[in-house]
Amino acid sequence: MRQLTVLYDPNCGLCRRVQAWMVLQPAYVEIVFVPVNSEEARCRYPDLNHSLTLTDLTVITDEGAVYFGPKAWIMCLWALRHYRAWSLRLSTPELLPTAKRVISMISQNRYKLEGLGKMLLRDSKAR
Amino acid sequence: MDILVTTYVIYLSISIALTIWVAQTLFKNGRVFLVDVFHGNESLADSVNHLLVVGFYLINFGYISLALKLGYDVRTAREGIEALSWKVGLVLLTLGGMHFFNLLVFSRMRRRSSIRLFDPPVKADGFTTVHGR
């Protein structure tokens, strides 16, 4: 795998800030951000169910493998140099159920969680 | 030569021999790890291996030298052997501790360098066609 495409929601403040943070992180693979349900996304992936991608984070590899929801979050961590170890840790059978629950909770409440995103971005800028 | 000096001489020879043996073991067997850590760069692995072993020697010889003094008089052979056994035991424990610390360093380095080779930890939910591929 050489490239990872992240379909993110530009209407959600948390998503925009996490995206801004991810761009600054060193990565093992090239990460491309495409707004969800956009013209570009439809052109790139003609067979994808785009209304479903509106409900949760979707990540697609250059080979066409689709990861949805909590798995997509784990794939984002996996792509980042400093967080690959975390992706492996979170996907062990002991931690995966909890990780999935927490991630789903954040995803479902993403419009209410803008403050968290602001905090994240401030931290990464201060560093 | 009185018993105390004999004890010191035996202590030094045993400790030095043990240190050299452990360091040689580390030097010989640690190399394979380091070559793997540095992705087959043998000259770099050899250099780091050598530096690690030098540090190992310095710390152990330093400890042996500092721990030499007995602080009490030894009159009989029995007392000499008892004092010797205590001192050599301490050197062995120090060597053991250092050795495991080195192993920990090696395995940490190896894990850190191999993490970039790991495949995605989760299975894809499905496959889709990618335009222009």
For all residues of chain A together, what is the average pLDDT?
Answer: 86
The CA–CA distances, whole Å, from A33 to A3, A30, A59, A125 equal 11, 10, 9, 20
**pLDDT for B36-73, tens place per residue?**
888 888 898 899 899 989 999 999 999 999 988 888 88
Q: Flag if A64 and B129 touch (Cβ within 8 Å).
A: yes
What value does the mean pLDDT take over residues B69-82? 87
B23-29 long-range Cβ contacts below 8 angstroms, 24+ apart: B23/B53, B23/B56, B23/B57, B23/B60, B26/B52, B26/B53, B26/B56, B26/B99, B26/B102, B27/B53
Residue A121 has pLDDT above 70, yes or no: no
Which residues of chain B are at the A interface, by a Cβ-Cβ cutoff of 8 Å?
115-116, 118, 120-133
B34 min Cα distance to partner chain A (Å)? 21
Lowest-confidence segment of A73-77, A79-83, A112-116, B9-13 by average pLDDT? A112-116
Q: How many CB atoms lie within 10 A of CB B83?
A: 19
Residue B101 has pLDDT above 80, yes or no: yes
Q: What are the b/e assignments for B111-130, b being 16+ CB within 10 Å? A: eeeeeeeeebbbebeeebeb
**pLDDT for A42-65, tens place per residue?**
999 998 888 888 888 899 999 999
Q: How many CB atoms lie within 10 A of CB A39?
A: 9
Q: Please tell me if residue A78 touches chain B, with a CB cutoff of 8 Å.
A: yes
Write down the pLDDT at residue B36: 83
Query: Helix H segments across chain B?
Result: 3-37, 42-66, 77-114
Lowest-confidence segment of A5-9, A32-36, A71-75, A117-121 by average pLDDT? A117-121
B50 min Cα distance to partner chain A (Å)? 29
Q: Show the tokens assigned to A118.
A: 């602001």
Write down the pLDDT at residue A13: 79
